[in-house]
Each structure stands twice: as C-alpha cells, then as structure tokens.
Amino acid sequence: GNSVTQMEGPVTLSEEAFLTINCTYTATGYPSLFWYVQYPGEGLQLLLKATKADDKGSNKGFEATYRKETTSFHLEKGSVQVSDSAVYFCALSGETSGSRLTFGEGTQLTVNP
C-alpha cells in the first residue's frame, strides 16, 4: 500500500536559517504529492503540491520537487521566520485512491528569533 516517511522532529532553527524537511514515499504509479501545514489549534492548510515527476511546487518561499527516481518530495525554505513555526505534513494521493490522502508522521518546526 501507499506510505509516506518524514524525517523525525522536532526541528528547531534560528530565524533566517535554511530549512529542509525530508519526505520519501512508497506508492504504485504516479501519485500526487503534497505538503500541508498545521498551526496550533487549527486544521491543515495546503502549502504546496506537485502532480507529476520533476514538478516543483512552491508557495510562501517554500519549495519541493517531485523526484520519481528517489521517491522523494523534500520541503525547503531559504530563510525561515518565527511565523513558520508549525507542524508540517507530507502527504500523497494515489492514482486510484480518489481524494484519500496518506500522511507522514509530521515534523514540528520551531523557529526562534
């Protein structure tokens, strides 16, 4: 079946540091890949997505590239802010699974001023 593995957290960075959160997946065919963010006390917000190999999703300074050869979708940001502190989830939707999302474990990011 489908699965997503994220790097273990929590991750603590200083403001303006570079961020990478690793995500790898297992799925048949060509899944769609997503990064969601969850702020305290809130639901999930879609941060970015990529629907085919070599696609790069980007939003609010965050980027991730769909790498079919390494089955990865790592999240990066060049300069994090305190307001980026949240939990980040990598997720996939399989070709035949409708809208069903399979999530990674989540990575807690804390950015200190």
Partner 1 sequence: KAGVTQTPRYLIKTRGQQVTLSCSPISGHRSVSWYQQTPGQGLQFLFEYFSETQRNKGNFPGRFSGRQFSNSRSEMNVSTLELGDSALYLCASSLRFGQGGENYEQYFGPGTRLTVT
The residue with tokens 């950015």 is 111
- Kindly state the number of chain residues that form the binding site for partner 1, as judged by CB under 8 A: 25
Cβ of residue 6: shortest distance to partner 1, in angstroms?
Answer: 10
DSSP letters spanning 69-103: TTTB--EEESS--GGG-EEEEEEEE-TTSTT--EE
Residues 74-93 that bind partner 1 (CB under 8 A): 89, 93
Residues 2-21 that bind partner 1 (CB under 8 A): none
Residue 106 touching partner 1 (CB under 8 A): yes
Of 26, 60, 95, 112, the one binding partner 1 by CB under 8 A: 95
Q: What is the dihedral of CA 47, 8, 39, 65, to 10 degrees?
A: -10
How far is residue 16's CA from residue 7's CA, in Å, rounded to a whole number? 21
Give me the residues that bind partner 1 (CB under 8 A), please: 30, 32, 36, 41-46, 49, 51, 89, 93, 95-106
